Structure 1
Amino acid sequence: MSMPNLPQSLSMNAPFGAGPGAPAPGPGGPPPSKDRKMASAEQLVLDLCNPDLRENALLELSKKRELFQDLAPLLWNSVGTIAALLQEIIFIYPVLSPPNLTPAQSNRVCNALALLQCVASHSDTRMLFLKAHIPLYLYPFLNTGSKTRPFEYLRLTSLGVIGALVKVDDTEVISFLLSTEIIPLCLRTMEMGSELSKTVATFIVQKILLDDLGLDYICTTAERFYAVGRVLNHMVGALAEQPSSRLLKHIIRCYLRLADNPRACDALRGCLPEMLRDGTFNACLREDPTTRRWLQQLLSIVGVNRVPGLQAGGGFEHML
């Protein structure tokens, strides 16, 4: 299979990690050069289009993707490569319902998703990735209800791709996501996922809210606001039993951003969880001054001056 975007010297028969003229490795020799690393990456990308070699190529590229600086453009511009990755995704749709996903299937498709995350993260390919509507192929994975490990791994890795898109503040990314079902899908994960997938899903909602377009979207109707508020409220209650300072940080930041909207702020005066007001999370936030400051700002905005006991030891009053 020809790939005009790759060097003519590469062929399907080239040995792994070696291109023409590549120096032979020797004991105690210098580490592989950048050219040799890219030759290795190019060969593995070629292998993705060979069904017999694809599984190993997915594994090797996903493990080594941080070593290859230009892997994302290489993946995007190589003939047939993105189609091969989408083929991996579509192949497991039938085992999503009823849930029959095996660990091996989950690992393989998650390796493909890791490569798509690489494309979503790169400045040269992010918008091309978006304009091709590739995130939509991941949404069935976020709509699953199984809590088994293979499904949770799949859910978390899919969220990682969306998280890579929103990590760089870009209204065009937010606009695209809001035109899809990403908010309900994230809320679903925030209710039933593991702590880690809940954290990533809440981060995505937080990043959407931090964009003015996202805040306006959530606060345009009471239904949208209360859908988000209900899930955040439920999560706060769950964290009282199983604390997670990392997850709590994103929840509080979501509430604080909602308070920037006058209508939402009025609503929060009546529906902000009591556990955020009464000092329940003092111990959880003891080592996190940023989140403590956000919480005090939130409570001040909605009309609660302080959390009992939280100021002790150079707390909010010292920081504000």
Structure 2
Amino acid sequence: MEEGLRDPEPQEEEQPWEERTLSLLQDSKIDQELSGEKEGKKWGKKHKVKWMKRPMTMPQAILEFLDEDLRENAIRYLSNYLFEKREEDPDNYYRAGFLVFNSCATMSVLLQEITGFYVKMVNETLNVRSIKRLANVLTLFQSVAANGETMQKFVDSCVPNFLVPLILFESKIEVFDNIRAIALSVIGILCQGREPSIIQWAIESDMVEVCRTIVETGSELTKVIAMHILEAILQDGFGISYVCNPICDHLLKGLIETWDKQISLLAVDQDLSPRLLFHIIRCYIILCKHDRGYVIVMNSLPDALTNGSFHEVMEEFPVIRNLMHQLLLNIGKTVEHPISSDPVQVHTVKEKMLESGLCIYDSVPTNAMVPKLIAHDQVTFLPSSLQCY
């Protein structure tokens, strides 16, 4: 039996929203590395919890969702419990997703919470309490999306589609951006497994355009999560074929234009988001595996990536430098600054590239180009000196 759920203190400290969103994505460790090195610190502390006077088990908490008087607290208890125990007790985390989805009327109750939030959005009656209440609901959706037994059923129920208005809604309340981040993370968790049926759902639900919009207008955190989703879609054969199809020309051109704007912003303020730069470069590399994507990238690559504007960033983050050299080699651009062969530096780069599922160089690149795997099912042309693991 799982441990008793704990009751949060009345006054909660600021929650580590990145830990509740981005860190749930499988390939986010490199983001933590890039962010941690730049800021000199890791995630914030988890919010404190204390024992409830009467311990509740997980099924009992879920049953209390049906009682309107107990619902808000019960959802908060379970949400905080899952947040605290996600890494420590993954079995119960996945079990919670299964119970939430399959218990009687629970998904209907949670969907009612979302539609009720819609009303407040329209009436402009949102407040911090209602935003945190919905954040707890979305945390439960994260556990449903992460469970392999409920993931596809969750998508088939169309409940994730109700998150799109939350993602695109503009609010003057600053903490609302946390709702956008958690809602995006639910989509990211669904897409990260790159199941063909789920990627197809994401495309049919216009998630490419949704993510493009967030990359253009969102906060740094939401932009990075949106890039994770775009990467997952582009790494799927159907996904990249759809985006690069001339019939959907507006999608590819929209992405290229948005990334170009972001590159221009990052070139001016390079402290803004090294991890966003990392993901944009990686998306360029993924596009190079498609014939039309390759041509578009070759003809539309921002000048800032080739004129040395990011020299300081690449010196500070070797993982970005190696990725940048890989991109330039793929499209036939000249590499002005060869990768250092310093053994200590290369060893550090290797560790970070391997953690992100990418390849690295063992020596100064040559002109010999051969097809190699980059990550997962991703194929492109790389120097023969590049080793893939």
The TM-score normalised by the length of structure 2 is 0.69
Paired with 1:17 and 1:259, the residues of 2 have a C-alpha distance of: 49
> SS at 1:64's partner residue?
helix
> Take 1:90 and 1:231, find their aligned partners in 2: how far apart are those partners?
31
Counterpart code for 1:72: G
Residue 329 (structure 2) aligned to one of 277, 281, 300: 300
For the pair 1:52 / 2:77, whether they are aligned, the reply is no
- Work out which of the residue numbers 274, 296, 299 in structure 2 matches 1:270: 299
Secondary structure at 1:183 match in 2: helix
Q: Which has the larger radius of gyration?
A: 1
Question: Aligned residue for 1:78?
Answer: 103
Q: How does 1:1-320 map to 2 (within 5 A)?
A: 40-65=57-82, 66=86, 67=89, 68-69=92-93, 70-97=95-122, 99-146=124-171, 148-221=173-246, 222-243=249-270, 244-306=273-335, 308-309=336-337, 311-312=339-340, 314=342, 317-318=363-364, 320=386
**Which segment drifts farther, 248-257 or 66-75?**
66-75
Paired position in structure 1 for 2:31: none
Letter of the aligned partner of 1:64 in structure 2? Y
Distance 2:259 2:163 in 1: 24
CA 1:160 to 1:147, structure 2 compared with 1: closer, same or farther past 3 Å?
Answer: farther
Percent identical across equivalent pairs? 30
1:195 positional shift: 0.4
Range with bigger deviation, 291-300 or 121-130:
291-300
Q: Which amino acid is 2:200 matched to?
A: S
8 Å CA contact 1:120, 1:165 repeated in 2: yes
Return the alpha-carbon distance in structure 1 between the equivalents of residues 185 and 159 of structure 2: 14
Comparing both chains, which one has the higher relative contact order based on Cα–Cα distances under 8 Å and sequence gaps of 6 or more? 2
Q: Is the 8 A contact 2:168 2:210 kept in 1?
A: yes
Q: CA deviation at 1:122?
A: 0.6
Instruction: Find the counterpart in structure 2 of residue 26 from structure 1.
Output: none
Q: Secondary structure at the match of 1:286?
A: helix
Q: For residues 261 and 84 of structure 1, do their structure 2 counterparts lie closer, same or farther at Cα, with a shift above 3 Å needed?
A: same
Q: C-alpha displacement at 1:151, in angstroms?
A: 2.2
TM-aligned CA deviation for residue 284 of structure 1: 2.0
Q: Displacement, 1:260?
A: 1.2
Asked if structure 2 preserves the Cα contact closer than 8 Å seen for 1:279 and 1:309, the reply is no
Q: Secondary structure at the match of 1:52?
A: helix
Deviation at 1:249, TM superposition (A): 1.3
- Give the SS at the match of 2:155: helix
Letter in 1 for 2:334: N
Q: Distance in 1 between matches of 2:128 and 2:5?
A: 29
Paired positions, count: 288
Greater alpha carbon shift after TM alignment, 64-73 vs 104-113: 64-73
Over residues 2-37 of structure 1, what are the superposed CA-to-partner deviations in whole Å (9 max), with x where a residue is unaligned? Answer: xxxxx9xxxxxxxx769xxxxxxxxxxxxx9xxx99
Tell me which amino acid in the other structure corresponds to 1:197: T
Cα deviation for residue 148 of structure 1 reads 3.6
Q: Is the 8 A contact 1:245 1:285 kept in 2?
A: no
Distance change >3 Å, CA 225–CA 260, structure 1 → 2? same
| Residues 135 and 179, structure 2, Cα contact 8 Å, conserved in 1 | yes
Aligned counterparts of 1:302 and 1:17: Cα–Cα separation in 2: 54
Measured after TM superposition, the shift of residue 310 of structure 1 is 5.7
Give, in angstroms, the shift of residue 134 of structure 1.
1.2
Q: Could you tell me how far 1:100 is from its partner in structure 2?
A: 4.2
Distance in 1 (CA, whole Å) between partners of 2:202 and 2:127 is 30
SS class of match (2:312): coil
Q: Which runs of 5+ in 2 are unaligned?
A: 7-50, 347-360, 366-385
Shift of 1:275: 1.1
Please state how far the C-alpha of 1:245 moved relative to its aligned partner: 1.9
Compared with structure 1, are the counterparts of its residues 103 and 310 closer, same or farther at alpha carbon in structure 2 (3 Å cutoff)?
farther
| Equivalent pair of 2:340/2:364 in contact (CA under 8 Å) | no
Structure 1 residues 250, 304: closer, same or farther in 2, change over 3 A?
Answer: same
- The 2-side partners of 1:80 and 1:286 are apart by 54
- More displaced stretch, 241-250 vs 182-191: 241-250
Residues 17, 43 of structure 1: 8 Å contact kept = no
User: Aligned-pair RMSD on alpha carbons?
Assistant: 2.4
TM-score normalised to structure 1 length: 0.83
Contact 1:47–1:53 (8 Å) recurs in 2: yes
Structure 1 residue 60 displacement after superposition = 1.1
Q: In 2, distance between residues paired with 1:254 and 1:169?
A: 15
Query: What is the rounded CA distance, in whole Å, between the counterparts of 2:185 and 2:103 in structure 1?
Result: 23
Deviation at residue 63 of structure 1 after TM alignment:
0.9
